Homo-oligomer: A and B are copies of this chain.
Amino acid sequence: MRRSRELQDAMAVIERGTVEIFPRPDLEDKLAHSIAKAEPLRVKFGMDPTAPDIHLGHSVPLRKLRDFQDLGHTAVLVVGDFTGLVGDPSGRSKTRPQLSPDEIEQNAETYLDQAAAILDPERLKVVRNGDWFGAMAFRDVLDLASKMTVARMLERDDFSKRYAEGSPISIHEFLYCLMQGYDSVQVRSDVELGGTDQRFNLLVGRQLQRDAGQEPQVAITMPMLVGTDGTEKMSKSLGNYVGITEPPAEMYGKIMSLPDPAMRDYFTLLTKVPADEIERLLGPDSHPRDAKRRLAREIVGFYGGADAAAEAEAEFDKVFVRSELPSEIPDYTPPRADLKDGKIWIARLVKGAGLADSTTEARRLIGQGAVSIDDTRIDDPEADVPVVDGMVLRVGKRRFARVKM
């Protein structure tokens, strides 16, 4: 088949940032067919309703989904409500808590609200896998389970590792994996997107579709985004994340804290800056700080708009470049009971002002030299400090409170 210019352009958009397109020729065939017949492809992405908050790491496959939408295809978002309802029956996993239908629905709504910042609602289909799994009887499960062998399952990286180590793998974990694949049969997906950790599950979907007489989906894997520490995978529990609903100034500041080597991935996966421009920005004729400012503007602009990005940048310059105070600092009035002879325990002040979750954390921050009052660092976690109306308490680079008496 002759590859049209349109097809080549589409492939270039889709390919950007991907780890693997498997099999690539199948994607080309599907796209060519879609272009010829003017029939959109169905691009599946599975959403875990136990973790509703989207950060930049989650946004990577969602943005790829948006690329497909912009090319005229349909995004099929599968809400894994059934899995959430069931939880992890073994009770061993902390990642699969059992949720109530209300919690699931609320999480799904939170997620969809946030995803609306990335996806095009016009080309979006949202389905819930409880619709088919809830109706399945034992014999249907046996039928599903008969489609896959134990040996094949044990090829999955984490299973093979755990099996080799002698760590228990419960049989229902095999079923979870099959369920995810069976979602593809139900939604008749042409393409499924996922992180590299989902590669095996995406291939299970292919096999189950083939068994069901469908043309198997193309599996596209996206890299795991590194967190703001520049080393670990971005995750809420590691605290190295940037939530997509964070205030523009916060988001801008977090991106500016990113180590330089992480910029290329961020540009590629989180912006539409063309490849040659990325090269120029990261090349020897450009200062890394300028590249990072551009990166922060692009990302903040994507979620909050160009004005918000400009404001966030101005604010950042004021506080971090010119070392001025931020334009807006929340007030805090310590309760009378915390004062003694006009003084307050510094850890209690930090906690009270909401700049630490506990006095223990506050003490730790003080010990790390992260706490100052009116630009004077407080080093002693046990210090009692005089309370002065209007004094500015600062924790780390970006958290402030003004004491009001």
Contacts and interface: CB of A to CB of B under 8 A. Distances in A.
A174 interface: yes
B141 A170 contact: no
Contact of A138 (B134, B153, B171, B174): B134
A337 interface: no
B150 A170 contact: yes
Contact of A174 (B82, B140, B171): B171
A272 interface: no
A213 interface: no
Given A133-B138, A149-B168, A169-B149, A143 B89 contact: yes
A151 B166 contact: yes
Contacts of A85: 139
Interface string A137-177: 11111110111111101100001000100101111101110
B139 A141 contact: no
A250 interface: no
Nearest to A159: B150
A212 interface: no
Nearest to A89: B146
Interface in A156-200: 159, 163, 166, 168-172, 174-176, 178
B142 A175 contact: yes
A90 interface: yes
Interface residues of A, number: 37
Contacts of A168: 149-151
Interface in A59-92: 82, 85-86, 88-90
A153 B171 contact: yes
Contacts of A146: 88-90, 170-172
Please state the number of chain copies in the assembly. 2
A170 B148 contact: yes
B137 A150 contact: no
A171 B151 contact: no
A228 B86 CA distance: 53
A150 B133 contact: no
A151 B163 contact: yes
Given A163-B151, A171-B150, A142 B178 contact: no
A84 to B, nearest CB: 11
A149 to B, nearest CB: 4
Contacts of A89: 139, 142-143, 145-146
Contact of A137 (B137, B142, B147, B171): B137
A159 B154 CA distance: 14
Contacts of A154: 150
A182 to B, nearest CB: 11
B149 A170 contact: yes
Contact of A142 (B86, B134, B150, B163): B86
A103 to B, nearest CB: 16
Contacts of A174: 145, 150, 171, 174
27 contacts: A82-B138, A86-B139, A86-B142, A90-B147, A134-B137, A136-B138, A137-B137, A138-B140, A141-B141, A141-B175, A142-B172, A142-B176, A145-B172, A146-B171, A147-B170, A149-B171, A150-B154, A150-B170, A150-B171, A151-B163, A151-B168, A151-B169, A153-B171, A171-B174, A171-B175, A171-B178, A174-B174
For the complex of A and B, 8 pairs with smallest distance between CB atoms: A89-B146, A145-B172, A145-B171, A90-B146, A146-B172, A149-B168, A89-B143, A150-B169
